[in-house]
Amino acid sequence: MTIQNRYEFVYLFDVSNGNPNGDPDAGNMPRLDPESSKGLVTDVCLKRKIRNFIELTDEKTSGYEIYVKEKSILNLQNNEAYKALGIEHVSKKLPKDINDANKITSWMCEHFFDIRAFGAVMTTEVNCGQVRGPVQLAFAKSIDPIIPLEISITRMAVTTEKEAEEQAGGNRTMGRKHIVPYGLYRVHGFISAKLAEKTGFSETDLEKFWQALALMFEHDRSAARGEMAARKLVVFKHNDALGNVPAHALFERVKVDRINGEKDTPASSFSDYKISIDKTNLQGVTIEEKF
């Protein structure tokens, strides 16, 4: 059964001595808003972690394959729909019969979790149409400005004999590692029941999505990312599919305030903040703190 209610949510996560989202155009330094010096994490980065969690835990379950994953060839993924339905594809075009075209797109939604959730542009050589997903995320931004650090690293092992000779003279391979000493990030999310009707995003899918937000960092450990943790998930559930209150008015009910340290200096831990939620005078909306 597809979801019947509109949702918005506020998600808080933090990083200690790691790079939550490197910018390839800036030597993989942590992404920054140049105006405020606050850290940024893109929606694409967060969706990648959600996809990875679903792939790790549920991909072998029917309907929970992942469409956009490492080394996947999208044309081959798309062709599975044509093969399963016995429809012959025409280069770069959907079937002329509207029913066949809808069947192709629906098959992709049924089999791939990330298409049901986030949507996809599947207009490759093997055309499966386009889907606008019900689950959307904004960019995450740190509560306070961050100060990225660039750290030099060395490598003891070598690749070639020539490098070994150079190291004998005291030369070691040098590298750079970028970290954020500490940053608490906030992101807003939106889930549309009306768009879920078109992709088939279900109540079960929604529960798996909440689970991914809670646990995705636990299965995404690496030296580059340091220590990342999900800290808070506040969900606003509307009484119906269209909703009762504008999203921005709900987001403003979640306040994150510094309680330790100077406000103009970076925080050093999650305990430097206090999270408060205004639950008064809600009309047609319920608030749930998932964690």
Percent of the chain with pLDDT over 90: 71
Residue 209, classified by CB atoms within 10 Å of its CB into exposed (0-12), middle (13-18) or buried (19+), is buried
Name the average pLDDT for the chain.
91
In angstroms, the CA 220 to CA 156 distance is: 26
**pLDDT higher than threshold 90 for residue 266:** no
Q: Is residue 275 part of a domain?
A: yes
Q: Is residue 163 part of a domain?
A: no
Span 9-25, average pLDDT: 95
Provide the strand spans (E) within 106-172.
119-123, 127-132, 135-137, 140-145, 149-155
pTM summary value: 0.91
Which residues is 286 bridged to in the sheet?
Answer: 237
Q: Is residue 53 part of a domain?
A: yes
- How would residue 18 be classed by pLDDT, with cut points 50, 70 and 90? very high
Q: Is residue 140 part of a domain?
A: yes
In angstroms, the CA 93 to CA 3 distance is: 31
In angstroms, the CA 46 to CA 48 distance is: 5
State pLDDT tens for residues 217-232: 999 898 888 899 999 9
- How would residue 171 be classed by pLDDT, with cut points 50, 70 and 90? low
In angstroms, the CA 5 to CA 208 distance is: 16
DSSP, res 112: B
| In contact, 6 and 243? CB cutoff 8 Å | yes
Q: Count CB neighbours of 87 within 10 A.
A: 17
Residue 238, token pair as written in the block: 């509307």
- How would residue 169 be classed by pLDDT, with cut points 50, 70 and 90? low
| In contact, 236 and 250? CB cutoff 8 Å | yes
More confident residue, 165 or 269: 269
pLDDT for 167 equals 65
Q: Is residue 152 part of a domain?
A: no
Percent of the chain with pLDDT over 70: 97
Q: Is residue 28 part of a domain?
A: yes
229 φ/ψ sector (left φ>0, alpha ψ -120 to 50, else beta):
beta
- How would residue 150 be classed by pLDDT, with cut points 50, 70 and 90? confident
Which residues is 9 bridged to in the sheet?
Answer: 189, 235
Q: Is residue 154 part of a domain?
A: no
Range of the domain at 100: 7-145+178-289
Map 189-246 to HEC letters.
EEECHHHHHHHCCEHHHHHHHHHHHHHHHHHCCCCCCCEEEEEEEEEEEECCCCCCCC
Q: Is residue 170 part of a domain?
A: no
In angstroms, the CA 148 to CA 236 distance is: 33
Structural domain count of the chain: 1
Span 72-85, average pLDDT: 91
pLDDT for 30 equals 94
Which residue is listed with tokens 């909440």?
210
- How would residue 60 be classed by pLDDT, with cut points 50, 70 and 90? confident
State pLDDT tens for residues 20-49: 999 998 888 999 999 999 999 999 999 999
